[in-house]
Amino acid sequence: MLSTTRALKAHPPAFSKTEFRTALGMFATGVTIVTARTAGGVMVGLTANSFNSVSLSPPLVLWSLAQSASSMEAFSTGSHYAINILSADQQDLARQFSAKGVDRFAGVGYTLGISGAPLIDGAAATFECFNRSRYEEGDHVIFVGEVERCQHQEGASPLLYHGGKFYAEHPL
């Protein structure tokens, strides 16, 4: 049984934020674009590599977003969002959806999912999620989504991120 009591406290970090970020960069991840529509119909989206599965039954996934993100209100108050796992050839989209001050959906092909969240054309996989719960931890919010529908492209290769760079295949 897991205990929620925190009798012990963590030691203060013995490293800088830069050292921590560099160490985290040694973990290769996939790259996603998380999308949603606000109550007013405005589309929002961002590049994220903080995505993971949580449970098969019920089907749950998680991702996280900086509390300071301009899209925080849209994601924290909306009922649904979509997670689009990018294909190896979608590096430009990853950059476009991480840029500030641009129309991130300009020139992007998509269809609307069952709850209105944009599904990026050509994505290796998509997960349409009910915004089940949120947890504030540190400077981020962890979103847990209950997957209502998913699909994938047979044989698609995912876009990878490792050491601050994109890869179409795992770096050797």
Q: Residues 39-58: pLDDT tens digits?
A: 899 999 999 999 999 999 99
**Mean pLDDT of the region 86-110:** 97
Query: What pLDDT score was predicted for residue 74?
Result: 95
Nearest to 86, CA basis, from 10, 5, 156: 156
Whether pLDDT at 1 is above 80:
no
As a whole number of angstroms, the distance between CA 110 and CA 123 comes to 10
pTM: 0.91
Assign 154 to helix, strand or coil: coil
Query: What pLDDT score was predicted for residue 123?
Result: 98
Whether pLDDT at 170 is above 70:
no
For residue 143, the tally of other CB atoms under 10 A from its CB is 24
Residue type, 12: P
Is residue 4 very low, low, confident or very high in pLDDT (cuts 50, 70, 90)? low
**What digits encode the pLDDT tens for the residues 70-92?**
999 999 999 999 999 999 999 99
| Average pLDDT score over the chain | 93
Ordered structural domains, the chain, with CATH: 29-167 (2.30.110.10)
